[in-house]
Amino acid sequence: MYISKSIIKKMLKDAGAKRVSDAAAQSFQDSLNKFAFGVAQKSVKLCSHAKRKTVEESDIKLAFQ
């Protein structure tokens, strides 16, 4: 996993949750990791298409669109 469960729980608590179950944290962690990995893959493809080796901020922003 790329994003730890403790970070996920902290994020949910910062968003207003009083308590977070392990199952909820696991589900959110899985979804967030899949989403983040997808953005990373798109960013790398954009970088490669531009014939660069360095992923730039613009690649990340375009991947989110």
* pLDDT grade for 1, boundaries at 50, 70 and 90: confident
pLDDT of residue 34: 95
Question: pLDDT tens digits for 33-48?
Answer: 999 999 999 999 999 9
Calpha distance 34→22 (Å, rounded): 18
pLDDT of residue 2: 86
CATH number at residue 32: 1.10.20.10
Range of the domain at 53: 5-64
Number of domains in the chain: 1
Q: Angle formed by the axes of helices 22-49 and 5-14, to 10°?
A: 100
pTM: 0.84
Q: Angle formed by the axes of helices 22-49 and 57-64, to 10°?
A: 120
CA quadruple 56, 32, 35, 14: dihedral sign: negative
Calpha distance 53→4 (Å, rounded): 28
Question: pLDDT tens digits for 9-28?
Answer: 999 999 999 999 999 999 99
